[in-house]
Amino acid sequence: MRILVVEDEKKVATFIKKGLEEEGYEVVVSYDGADALKKLIATKFDLLVTDIMLPKKDGLTLVREIREADQHIPVLMLTAKSTTEDIIAGLDSGSDDYMVKPFAFEELTARVRSLLRRSGYDRGAELTFADLVLDPVSHKVWRAGQEIDLTSKEYGLLAYLMRNAGTTLSRKMIADHVWDYTFDSFTNIIDVYVNYLRKKVDRNHPVRLIHTVRGQGYVLKEV
């Protein structure tokens, strides 16, 4: 597996590179966002690990541009920016996971394994529920034949709901399977993203599919 690490602090970049190589990964390092974009266009990588605050092109812009270029590489943001607003901005840019510095290297490698494993699941068969269709290969979603523009995290959340249609999913289950974050620290962001997703999937449709089960969580069902 080949990983691109984008980090302008050379000591931190060297530390991450050495640790991931000891885990058996091939690691390439870039020190600014513009160079990272060139590398991503020229070479196939299995995972991108990037800081937000970078010279020449910041991490948020880098991720938005690779998503606009229709690249579905898993992205882990690794940054000192730690507010709820920072996390939402990072996820909205198209990243799949978000870690705050300083970090335990064991947690970083666990997140890396999870993202690589999840990207393998995303190459499976097309998912359908009612008039909702999700293509794991192209990462595109349609409802009643109309394409829905989703962020990376909204897509991941919807895929999890569709794979478990009819089952009530607690916030802890969603946190564990979609975000890999601890439940207590991530509850608010889960609710924010469910509301984002509900507006895009159910708006202008007579039948709502995403439902809140009071005191329990969320469920995808026809009512």
Query: Which domains does the chain carry?
Result: 2-121 (3.40.50.2300), 127-220 (1.10.10.10)
What is the enclosing helix (H) or strand (E) of 141?
A: strand 140-143
Residue 186: per-residue pLDDT: 56
Residue 175: per-residue pLDDT: 83
Residue 10: per-residue pLDDT: 93
Residue 139: per-residue pLDDT: 81
Residue 119: per-residue pLDDT: 64
Cα–Cα distance for residue pair 168/166, rounded to 1 Å: 7
Contact 202, 209 (CB under 8 A): yes
Residue 86: per-residue pLDDT: 84
Q: 130's torsion region: left (phi>0), alpha (psi -120 to 50) or beta?
A: left
Q: Where are the alpha helices (DSSP H) in 69-182?
A: 84-92, 105-121, 152-163, 171-174
For residue 95, give the amino acid letter. Answer: S
**CA 171 centroid distance within chain:** 17
Contact 94, 150 (CB under 8 A): no
Residue 81: per-residue pLDDT: 81
Cα–Cα distance for residue pair 127/140, rounded to 1 Å: 11
Token pair in block for residue 120 = 């393998």
Contact 50, 96 (CB under 8 A): no
Summary count for the chain: helices (H), strands (E): 8, 11
Per-residue pLDDT tens listing for the chain (223 residues): 899 999 999 999 999 999 999 998 999 999 999 999 999 998 889 999 999 999 999 999 999 999 888 788 889 998 888 788 888 888 888 888 888 888 889 989 988 988 887 765 555 568 899 999 998 877 889 999 999 998 888 888 999 999 899 999 998 888 878 876 554 555 678 888 999 999 999 998 999 999 999 989 999 998 7
Residue recorded with tokens 């999937």: 201
Question: Which phi and psi (to 5°) does residue 188 adopt?
Answer: -60, -40
For residue 39, give the amino acid letter. Answer: K
pTM of the shown model:
0.67
Residue 116: per-residue pLDDT: 84
